[in-house]
Amino acid sequence: MGKIKKQILCEVSGTVGNVVLKKRGKVWYLACRPKKYRTPYDKRSIHNRKQFKGISQLGRAINRIAPIKQIWQSEFPDCYSPYHEILKSNFKQFNFTDLSGTPLLTPHTGFTLSDVSLQIIEDKLIVKSAPLDLNSFVAPFEGKFITTASVLIIKSLENPDYVFEFHSRLGAKSLLEIGSPLLLTTRLNCGASIINQKWYVHKSWSVLIILDEKDNPVSYSELISWQSSIPEVNQKKSN
């Protein structure tokens, strides 16, 4: 049944008889409702359904990080929602079947990091980097803060081939000190499970985000990728 959102002959969603009303961005469309629909079961259709389900989970994890959501909203101010742009941008970037590919946490590649490394030790994700080259930035960064935004794949040791979850984390923000190396820590809040050897971090993707005094994102870094080679309680690997 069609639902009137504001007033008659204004915004309507759903179906009225055999007419479907839908909105994409700021544009409303009318379409004929199909008489029948049969779910296809060919290999490509099955793959696409699984891919959409997986990318939806990944998209929700990215969208849950407030500064990243603001970044996508700022880049696409006219979009229906940041989540839909995240979903669309990542559909061909990441393969849900074998967890391969590199997802897009941000719309573009951010500023370059030097001598960057990432370690995951029990329930902490630690990023180290050489001082930022602030001469390459237009905006001044005195009084700004910096934090780490991450999306992780947590897998089960009991069934590593099939059971996994996407987790999103935002690290503690630190005052951006000009000329000083970066040392940023994020608590994963899943340390007990990892210590009990039931779960481990399989992959993670992180970006550094510079925030103003009101926690609005000012700039962001390139992507930092990490992957576990052996499922252990203490995992260390440089980017």
For residues 174 and 184, give the distance between their C-alpha atoms in angstroms, rounded to a whole number: 7
> Quick check: 73 pLDDT over 90?
yes
For residues 187 and 119, give the distance between their C-alpha atoms in angstroms, rounded to a whole number: 12
At residue 92 the predicted structure's pLDDT band, cuts being 50, 70 and 90, is confident
Coil, strand or helix at 77: coil
- pLDDT digits over 142-194, tens only? 789 999 999 999 888 777 666 688 999 999 999 998 789 999 999 987 544 55
Q: Report the percent of the chain where pLDDT is more than 70.
A: 76
At residue 229 the predicted structure's pLDDT band, cuts being 50, 70 and 90, is confident
| C-beta of residue 25 within 8 angstroms of C-beta of residue 84 | no
Average pLDDT of the chain is 81
For residues 208 and 116, give the distance between their C-alpha atoms in angstroms, rounded to a whole number: 11
Domain ranges of the chain: 3-32, 46-237
